[in-house]
Amino acid sequence: MVQYEFCTKTHQVMLNGVRQSFEECKKDPRLSYHEPVMAFASKDKTFRDANIQGYSLQPEITPYSQENPLIGKSRTISKLSIQLGLACNYQCKYCLQAQNRADAIKVPSREEIDAFLLKFREAGIHLDPNAMVDLWGGEPLVYWKALKSLVPQLRAMFGEKIRLSLFTNGVLLTDEITDFLIKYHVQVHISHDGPGFALRDKTNPLFDKETKEKWLNLHEKSRLAGVPMSFFAVLHQGNCDLFELRGYFDKYFSPHVHLDFGGAASETENLHEESIIDEEQANVLRWSMLRAVVTEPGKWPGLERRVFNLMGRLVHQIPPGGIRYHCNAVDESVLCVDIQGNILSCQNRSASTHKIGSLTEYGAIKNPFFTHWKLRPDCADCLVLGACKGGCPDISDQAMARCCVNDWAFHYGVFTVAWFLLTGTIIQRIDPLPKFLLRRQKVVPIHKENEKGE
């Protein structure tokens, strides 16, 4: 019998009492190594290298809340989100920012940009060598004049190794803007929900010849520059079939463009009824997730990352009490800031409602807006907590109650895939259903079989 355990501090395996490195274990004839899930298997156990997935054993977390706010931020930042302003040329039905459009600021001047960067330097903040800087709106291209001043200074200030990215609906893109973004190696993510685009706007830019040509120009130039553009979709009632979603961009744009998705629409205080995933589409999502990971390993990296992370928790039997957050804005090394130097709980929030500090008083940061999952009414008993990790910490319990149906649909799919990869079996039924689903009129399915009756 082969017995082994993994030490997250030394990243070594104790195999029958003998300490071995991960690479040595890969050569051990008593173990087989499974590359897609990065796991070792013997006759009666499965071992997964937690370090490869950036996963570690976590101590029990003290819940954060309004009464027990998160205090402080690190001065060494791994991810910086800069909110240019909340103005936008779209009114997406599931957007968290929509309630704060009235706070959209004017386009910052060159002097205001310079003042912002000076505050940043004077605060003594540094970026990790491989840090990520995200440029956010609203719609960031509304703030094109500000970007022309800000982006070159960010490159000069932080160097070429940091990753600059920009999330945009792409409608305001011009060839001039494309050339500028390529020059400074800014990776562009165009927000588009494929067949579910109608929840964003009535006019689909992919069917506008001029806009599509500009996007194709960006696609080709960004590919050659090594910062390939991608489409970024939010999943909802209108686009749950992952293969239909990918096929949409293959057909109407290019089969070579990268596609990613950020989960289901849920991070909003008032989730629109048209966004809520019903039982039929939840089943479509679950089966398409399983098909994607099992039949096309390596082609769905965002989904695989979620699945493998959950597998690590299941294999190592990690108690859920160590789950700190779903959103990395909780992390001390993640900073959200606007051009005025206000530090925000989230890049989607306004300083008028969710300011937690300022660059000029960096040592006094206090975030009372986040709520840990332990303080939510339904999270502790939820099957998919290990995947969902409590959802958005920055919304109310009332909003969470409405959004959980979408979070369940997405993360139950992730759970199904992880379970299949670990056991070779497919979950057909869970009983009883989570209480929050039973309280809703729309109950997400888990008892349905797929169309083939499998």
Per-residue pLDDT band at 270 (split at 50, 70, 90):
confident
pLDDT for the residue 312: 87
Q: What is the mean pLDDT of the chain?
A: 85
Q: What is the percent of the chain where pLDDT is above 90?
A: 63
pLDDT for the residue 104: 63
Q: Region 80-86: what's the mean pLDDT? A: 95
Q: Which helix (H) or strand (E) holds 305?
A: helix 301-315
Does residue 454 have a pLDDT over 80?
no
Strand partners, 423: none
Per-residue pLDDT band at 436 (split at 50, 70, 90):
confident
- DSSP code of 95? -
Most confidently modeled of 265-274, 335-344, 445-454? 335-344
- Short-list 239, 144, 244, 133, CA closest to 186: 133
Alpha-carbon distances of 212 from 165, 170, 174, 178, 185, rounded to whole Å? 20, 10, 11, 13, 21
Instruction: Encode pLDDT of 56-72 as tens digits.
Output: 445 677 899 999 999 99
Per-residue pLDDT band at 154 (split at 50, 70, 90):
very high
Phi, psi of 289 (to 5 degrees): -60, -45
Radius of gyration for the chain, computed over Cα atoms and rounded to the nearest angstrom? 23
Structure tokens at 51: 């370090």
What is the rounded distance in angstroms from the CA atom of residue 82 to the CA atom of residue 334?
11
- Short-list 448, 319, 451, 323, CA closest to 393: 323
Does residue 327 have a pLDDT over 70?
yes
Instruction: Encode pLDDT of 43-58 as tens digits.
Output: 444 444 333 333 344 5
Does residue 279 have a pLDDT over 50?
yes
Per-residue pLDDT band at 32 (split at 50, 70, 90):
low
Per-residue pLDDT band at 186 (split at 50, 70, 90):
very high
When the candidates are 1.10.3720.10, 3.10.105.10, 3.20.20.70, 3.40.640.10, the CATH number that belongs to 70-367 is 3.20.20.70
What is the rounded distance in angstroms from the CA atom of residue 231 to the CA atom of residue 342?
30
Does residue 34 have a pLDDT over 60?
no
- 406 C-beta neighbours (distance < 10 Å), count: 27
Domain with CATH 3.20.20.70 in the chain: 70-367
- DSSP code of 91? -
What is the rounded distance in angstroms from the CA atom of residue 454 to the CA atom of residue 448?
10
Per-residue pLDDT band at 17 (split at 50, 70, 90):
very low
Q: Region 17-40: what's the mean pLDDT? A: 55
Q: Region 163-167: what's the mean pLDDT? A: 97
Alpha carbon dihedral 343, 344, 348, 352, in 10-degree steps, equals -100
Q: Region 4-13: what's the mean pLDDT? A: 42
Report CA 442 to chain centroid distance, whole Å: 26
Does residue 323 have a pLDDT over 90?
no
Q: What is the percent of the chain where pLDDT is above 70?
A: 82
Structure tokens at 56: 């570690």
Report CA 23 to chain centroid distance, whole Å: 31
Does residue 174 have a pLDDT over 70?
yes
Does residue 1 have a pLDDT over 60?
no
Residues 6+ apart with CB under 8 A from 434: 378, 381, 382, 383, 408
Report CA 24 to chain centroid distance, whole Å: 34
Q: Region 203-210: what's the mean pLDDT? A: 96
pLDDT for the residue 33: 52
Strand partners, 145: none
- Is 387 in contact with 326 (CB distance < 8 Å)? no
Does residue 439 have a pLDDT over 80?
no
Does residue 392 have a pLDDT over 60?
yes
Does residue 38 have a pLDDT over 60?
no
Does residue 376 have a pLDDT over 70?
yes
Alpha-carbon distances of 59 from 23, 56, 223, 308, 319, rounded to whole Å? 28, 10, 42, 21, 9
Does residue 120 have a pLDDT over 90?
yes
What is the rounded distance in angstroms from the CA atom of residue 10 to the CA atom of residue 435?
41
Helix, strand and coil content of the chain, in percent to the nearest 5, comes to 40, 20, 40
Q: Region 171-199: what's the mean pLDDT? A: 97
pLDDT for the residue 103: 62
What is the rounded distance in angstroms from the CA atom of residue 90 to the CA atom of residue 104?
13
Alpha carbon dihedral 404, 409, 412, 418, in 10-degree steps, equals -130
